[in-house]
Structure 1
Amino acid sequence: MRMEANRYRATANPESTHRSPILRIDSGTADGHQRLPTHSHPEPMLMWTATATVMGIAGSREWLIPPGYGLWIPGGVEHTGTVLHAGEMSIVTFAAEGCPITWSEPTGIEVGTLLRELVAHLDVVGPAHPTRPHAEALMFALLTPLATQDVHAAVPTDPRARAVAERLLADPADQRELAAWADEVHASVRTLSRLFRAETGLSFASWRTQVRMRAAARLLAGGASVSSTARAVGYRRPSAFVDAFRRSTGQTPGTYLPRSAGRGRLSTPPDLRSVRQPSPSDDASSRLRST
């Protein structure tokens, strides 16, 4: 991805008694549909977006990072990312030693108005600026972890269940139920149900819901309307889709729609959570969601 960087002065002023744990702040425009090669580095980093939408992979998890949210990546964790919707974003890199954040796993955060303004301020002032220690302390205090919610759709390894999974990944709108799929792959309904449960940890209905919500989040982030997204993932009525999306993500589909930049360098972020994995309690109701 391309970043038109406003580079923060990387080394602290030797005359200053305050040694900043921030090594670098890069803020700029990320081009759409570009992928960052998988890599790692010893320094922890915070990636957050003002108007871009990014699908990140870190620590064997996938993270949908929409405007106003970010991802903390500890040092040494391999990560990559794809920009789903172009826009403004920032990457803050911290020193491997001396950083007060000690989270050992990738962690999602919400970037509210105060936090984003603090990052913007720290991007402008130098390491010796008298406000810097207080601004950094407040910034770290505001980095509060969100509940982590996985958007990874595990694919079964058994060839029969995998054939079903691959077809649904290619076409989440496919309305066929488990009995029809069982005939398709020459397996019993009981066998296919058992395979999905054993190899994905989910029932077939919950797994399909997860795939649909994941596909929907990508379409919405790319600018598709709620009604067209609903049809694309198998819902005849947008209201049924909105209800299912809210149950699965805790948010409305409109939250995932790209937002235009506001006044100034950074825009006001919307409210959003990452897509969660459906729970077994979703099984019974998921059959009603496509009606």
Structure 2
Amino acid sequence: MKGLGLGGYEPDSQRDVAVAFRIQVAEDEQFIPSHRHRKGQLILALHGAITCEVENAMWMVPPQFAVWIPGLVPHSNRATPGAQLCFLFIEPGAAAMPEHCCTLKISPLVRELILSLSTRLGNELKTEATQRLTRVLFDELPQQPQEQLQLPVSLHPKIRMMVETMAAEPAEWQTLGQWASRFAMSERNLARLVVKETGLSFRRWRHQLQLILALQMLIGGQTVQQTALSLGYESTTAFITMFRKGLGQTPGRYLNALTTPSQ
């Protein structure tokens, strides 16, 4: 945690009800291995994106969204190069937050409350003004809508191999038949395994992974055409159709709605 610019702050060593830190991710600090802490943590993406692996699921956090991780839940984080993030640590029971991990769509008001809190450290956290700000934040934060930007995964070695390989080479591993051949299994048995381990059909599971990868690529600066090609789509139209079905908007409109210049 120290390498992320938290100034040596250890979440479990202090009892402040809410502490926020603004983070600039350096090129060599893009991955934080699995860890946990007593305090709950909200990870807000300001610029760039971060992917968290929590509770056998991958959670994608694009700008204007945040992932909520309850206290004591093991999680790892991977950010895009140069990402700007804000970490908010909340004392257990201090706010009426969900008891499960989730992605939240953050309103401009809540975003500014968190950023304002991130400028107040040390003795400033105990002032009446900061306590009033925190009370407003705790009123608003639990009301933020949840979004489905997670990919179910599991510890099963075949599922792990599929996730890691498809994430690294999405254009090369498109079909259930390819994987069945790789594992020397029938397509029916592999399809059943995917449903058992993830709760989704192979097609829906693959599309969810593609959505996560697409958001990473698009936020990272790739065009819609480049992203479609990287994911193995033969036409941009087919990719846009998949994206719209998953997130309700075309890639261009979705990204335009997310774009808020970082201050």
* TM-score tier (shorter): 0.7 to 0.9
Mapped contact 2:53–2:76 kept (Cα < 8 A) = yes
CA shift at 1:167, angstroms?
Answer: 6.3
Verify: 1:119 aligned to 2:114, yes or no: yes
Match of residue 136 from structure 1: 134
Match of residue 63 from structure 1: 59
Q: Distance in 2 between matches of 1:186 and 1:95?
A: 49
Which residue of 226, 232, 245 corresponds with 1:234?
232
Q: Distance in 2 between matches of 1:58 and 1:194?
A: 23
Structure 1 counterpart of 2:150, one-letter code: V
Moved more, 28-37 or 70-79: 28-37
Which residue of 243, 259, 263 corresponds with 2:241?
243
CA separation of 1:227 and 1:95: change in aligned 2, threshold 3 A: same
Task: Report the secondary structure of 2:244's partner residue.
Answer: helix
Match of residue 152 from structure 1: 151
Match of residue 87 from structure 2: 91
Verify: 1:49 aligned to 2:45, yes or no: yes
CA shift at 1:54, angstroms?
Answer: 0.5
CA shift at 1:181, angstroms?
Answer: 6.8
CA shift at 1:124, angstroms?
Answer: 3.6
Structure 2 counterpart of 1:216, one-letter code: A
Query: Could you list the per-position Cα deviations for residues 215-271 of structure 1 after superposition, in whole angstroms to 9, with x for gaps in the alignment?
Result: 3233223322210110111222212211211211334334459x8883xxx44xxxx
CA shift at 1:194, angstroms?
Answer: 4.6
Task: Report the secondary structure of 2:131's partner residue.
Answer: helix
Point out the structure with the larger helix share: 2
Task: Report the secondary structure of 2:95's partner residue.
Answer: coil
Q: CA RMSD in A?
A: 3.8
How do 1:149-188 residues align onto structure 2 when only pairs under 5 Å count? Answer: 149=148, 151-152=150-151, 154=153, 168=166, 171-174=169-172
CA shift at 1:47, angstroms?
Answer: 1.7
Mapped contact 1:51–1:89 kept (Cα < 8 A) = yes
CA separation of 1:93 and 1:180: change in aligned 2, threshold 3 A: closer
Task: Report the secondary structure of 1:131's partner residue.
Answer: helix
Q: Distance in 1 between matches of 2:199 and 2:147?
A: 18
Task: Report the secondary structure of 2:4's partner residue.
Answer: coil
TM-score (norm 1): 0.68
Task: Report the secondary structure of 1:82's partner residue.
Answer: strand
CA shift at 1:214, angstroms?
Answer: 3.3
Q: Distance in 1 between matches of 2:147 and 2:182?
A: 36
Verify: 1:30 aligned to 2:29, yes or no: no
CA shift at 1:190, angstroms?
Answer: 4.7
Q: Distance in 2 between matches of 1:156 and 1:39?
A: 17
Structure 1 counterpart of 2:148, one-letter code: Q
Percent of matched pairs sharing the same residue: 26
Mapped contact 2:49–2:216 kept (Cα < 8 A) = no
Q: Distance in 2 between matches of 1:72 and 1:228?
A: 31
Mapped contact 1:31–1:83 kept (Cα < 8 A) = no
Verify: 1:103 aligned to 2:98, yes or no: yes
CA shift at 1:63, angstroms?
Answer: 1.0
Task: Report the secondary structure of 1:50's partner residue.
Answer: strand
Q: How many residues align?
A: 251
Match of residue 3 from structure 1: 4
Query: Could you list the per-position Cα deviations for residues 64-89 of structure 1 after superposition, in whole angstroms to 9, with x for gaps in the alignment?
Result: 11112112222111111011242322
- Structure with greater Cα Rg: 1
